[in-house]
């Protein structure tokens, strides 16, 4: 028995000394580059989301690599906001590029197919903008640092209801996208919970150009506010057409509206839009100020929520890679899951046991053509 123990211990010591055998060729100790795949919406009607996200990632990547505790190589694929393209991108990153982790994709619609692919391949994935219900619950390898609609929308509806003493709301939502539908579900439930009467519920489709039929109906029911679940392109056009029809009540929007594109497209018509977000550029925090300056210097414009979330996500991932001390996806996943009280530019965040973000959103309003704190 003693001899057996001796052999077992010798074998153990030998394995440990060799760094676990097969993973040795992949192990990314100090100085070695760890490959991280990025899937982002870079072309088409929502390309500004992907532009902000990849800008935020590039900025963080340079800082992380310059510091040198870990080295990350980003490999970026465009999904064009389409779930099939997002899935092919994930397969390429996992099977051909052998990435150790993935950041993205942009839309919950895409994550619903990419999440299961990454999860079944044992590759950790962090959504930085996916806010529909059930995303981290796809599997143990799926995380997100974007605040779910279930937390953001109740906060913005409550703040708007109190401020405007609203009693009646109309709801307008896109019924062909996972995120816009999920936002609608929360709006409907929350209106009920907060004792708001829903005057009418109207639907639209992605890419729709004319919303007059829906808006005419909404106008006739005289709501105190409009709850709208849309991506920025449709959302901005809706607000523009609403204001032109004389609908001047506040809009409460979901995550899709958290883009300065709403202001670029709708102009003054965007005033009166209320949203909840983990990001506020005007925060009196040195970290936030530094980030805003660095981003502006590099890209010639202010960062938005999507850039900030992506920036923090890469730092969260880099910290997990550093703690794992290797590029082994399983080890990185386990360290990601332990993320607690990470201090980034969004504030302090942790992952809950399902891999969802724990953080309170801030409520903002577009006033005088810019996002401001809603008080």
Binding residues for ligand 1QQ, rule: CB under 6 A, are 49, 106-108, 129-132, 179, 231, 255-256
Compute CA distances 56 → 172, 184, 291, 368, whole Å: 31, 29, 10, 26
Output 181 or 243, the one with its CB closest to ligand 1QQ.
181
Please identify which residue in the block is written with the tokens 């990185």.
Answer: 332
Please identify which residue in the block is written with the tokens 């969802």.
Answer: 356
Output 256 or 329, the one with its CB closest to ligand 1QQ.
256
Residue 47 CA to residue 325 CA, distance in Å, equals: 35
User: CA torsion 295→296→299→300, rounded to 10°?
Assistant: 170
State the nearest-atom distance from the C-beta of 111 to ligand 1QQ, in Å.
7
State the nearest-atom distance from the C-beta of 102 to ligand 1QQ, in Å.
16
State the nearest-atom distance from the C-beta of 24 to ligand 1QQ, in Å.
39
Output 48 or 339, the one with its CB closest to ligand 1QQ.
48
- Residue 281 host element (H or E): none
- Give, as one character, the DSSP assignment of residue 270: G
Residue 174 CA to residue 181 CA, distance in Å, equals: 6
User: CA torsion 53→56→61→64, rounded to 10°?
Assistant: -140
Closest CA to 236 of 218, 213, 216, 258: 258
Residue 87 CA to residue 168 CA, distance in Å, equals: 41
Strands (E), 175-281: 197-204, 225-229, 251-253, 273-277
Output 223 or 235, the one with its CB closest to ligand 1QQ.
235
State the nearest-atom distance from the C-beta of 225 to ligand 1QQ, in Å.
20
State the nearest-atom distance from the C-beta of 159 to ligand 1QQ, in Å.
19
Contacts 24+ apart (CB under 8 A), 298-301: 298/55, 298/59, 299/55
State the nearest-atom distance from the C-beta of 350 to ligand 1QQ, in Å.
20
Output 127 or 329, the one with its CB closest to ligand 1QQ.
127
State the nearest-atom distance from the C-beta of 197 to ligand 1QQ, in Å.
27
Contact present, 258 and 273 (Cβ < 8 Å): no
Strand partners, 277: 362
Closest CA to 233 of 212, 205, 252: 205
Closest CA to 7 of 229, 324, 15, 61: 15
Pairing of strands 370-373, 251-253: unpaired
Output 34 or 363, the one with its CB closest to ligand 1QQ.
363
State the nearest-atom distance from the C-beta of 58 to ligand 1QQ, in Å.
18
Strand partners, 55: none
Side-chain-facing half-sphere of 269: CA atoms under 13 Å: 18
Q: Select the residue whose beta carbon is closest to ligand 1QQ and give its number.
A: 179
Output 85 or 131, the one with its CB closest to ligand 1QQ.
131
Output 23 or 208, the one with its CB closest to ligand 1QQ.
208
Output 102 or 331, the one with its CB closest to ligand 1QQ.
102
Residue 347: partners with Cβ closer than 8 Å, 6 or more residues away: 278, 359
Output 39 or 132, the one with its CB closest to ligand 1QQ.
132
């Amino acid at each position: 028995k003693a001899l057996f123990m001796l052999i077992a211990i010798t074998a153990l010591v030998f394995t440990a000394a060799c760094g676990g055998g097969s993973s040795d060729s992949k192990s990314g100790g100090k100085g070695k580059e760890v490959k991280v795949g990025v899937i982002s919406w870079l072309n088409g009607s929502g390309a500004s989301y992907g532009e902000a996200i990849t800008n935020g990632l590039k900025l963080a990547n340079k800082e992380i690599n310059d510091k040198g505790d870990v080295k990350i190589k980003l490999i970026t694929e465009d999904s064009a906001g389409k779930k099939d393209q997002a899935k092919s991108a994930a397969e390429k990153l996992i099977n051909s590029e052998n990435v150790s982790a993935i950041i993205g994709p942009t839309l919950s619609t895409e994550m619903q197919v990419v999440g299961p692919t990454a999860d079944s391949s044992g590759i950790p994935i962090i959504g930085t903008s996916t806010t529909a219900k059930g995303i981290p619950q796809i599997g143990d390898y799926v995380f997100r640092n974007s605040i779910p609609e279930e937390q953001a929308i109740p906060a913005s509806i409550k703040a708007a209801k109190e401020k405007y003493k609203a009693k009646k709301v109309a709801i307008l939502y896109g019924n062909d996208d996972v995120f816009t539908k999920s936002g609608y579900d929360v709006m409907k439930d929350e209106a009920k919970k907060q004792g708001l009467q829903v005057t009418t519920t109207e639907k639209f489709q992605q890419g729709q150009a004319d919303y007059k039929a829906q808006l005419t109906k909404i106008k006739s029911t005289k709501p105190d506010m409009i709850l709208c679940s849309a991506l920025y392109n449709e959302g901005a056009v809706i607000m523009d057409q609403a204001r032109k029809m004389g609908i001047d009540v506040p809009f409460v929007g979901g995550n899709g509206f958290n883009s300065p594109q709403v202001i670029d497209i709708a102009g003054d018509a965007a005033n009166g839009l209320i949203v909840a977000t983990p990001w506020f550029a005007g925060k009196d925090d040195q970290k936030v100020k530094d980030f805003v300056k660095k981003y502006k210097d590099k890209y010639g414009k202010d960062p938005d929520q999507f850039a900030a979330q992506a920036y923090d996500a890469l730092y969260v991932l880099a910290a997990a890679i550093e703690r794992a001390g290797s590029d082994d996806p399983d080890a990185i996943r386990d360290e990601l899951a332990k993320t607690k009280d990470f201090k980034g530019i969004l504030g302090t965040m942790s992952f809950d046991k399902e891999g969802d973000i724990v953080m309170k959103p801030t409520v903002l309003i577009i006033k005088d053509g810019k996002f401001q704190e809603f008080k």
